Amino acid sequence: MPRYAFRLCLLALLMFASVTTFAPRAHSDAASEIQSVISDQLKAFNEDDTQRAYGHAADIIKKIFPSSQIFMEMVKTGYPPVYRAKSWSFNEPTPLDSGYSQIVRLTDEQGRTWSALYTLERDSTGEWKITGCRILKSEGMV
């Protein structure tokens, strides 16, 4: 019986170690993938690559904006800091029930700083897609 208890404790310890070892790695992998998707879309906006930028949008966004041209025009007129970001940096993403939220610090063409709150979810193929973006001017800016 003591040998069985020892094996059970060892198994529990190994399971705990694997969860604590792989959970941060999974979060780190997701963070890297999410930030890569956002960066690629921001680069696509800067290059006026409508198809590439639109390709990162989730189906729910594509239902609202049914073509890449309509989508690009919406971003151009409604999200100028995103459309022509000169630079950007990322905070740590936050897990949500169905994906992640990601705060991105943007600098626009005039040098003003903005915060963009992105939400992303995996699609049916497992790729991260952008489900929303909300922009706020950073505090302390005129």
Over residues 61-114, the pLDDT tens digits come to: 999 999 999 999 999 999 999 999 999 999 999 999 999 999 999 999 999 999
pLDDT band of residue 137 (cuts 50, 70, 90) is confident
Over residues 26-54, the pLDDT tens digits come to: 557 899 999 999 999 999 999 999 999 99
CA distance 8 to 92: 37
Domain boundaries, the chain: 2-137
Q: Is the pLDDT of residue 3 over 70?
A: no
Give the model's pLDDT for residue 78. 96
Q: Does domain 2-137 have CATH number 3.10.450.540?
A: yes
Q: Is the pLDDT of residue 12 over 80?
A: no
Q: Which amino acid is at 37?
A: V
The mean pLDDT of 121-130, rounded to a whole number, is 98
91 near 103, Cβ under 8 Å? yes
Give the model's pLDDT for residue 71. 99
Dihedral (C-alpha) 67, 100, 97, 20: value to the nearest 10 degrees? 150
Give the model's pLDDT for residue 4. 55
DSSP states along 37-54: HHHHHHHHHHTT-HHHHH
The mean pLDDT of 120-128, rounded to a whole number, is 97
29: burial class by Cβ within 10 Å (0-12, 13-18, 19+)?
exposed
Radius of gyration of the chain (CA): 20
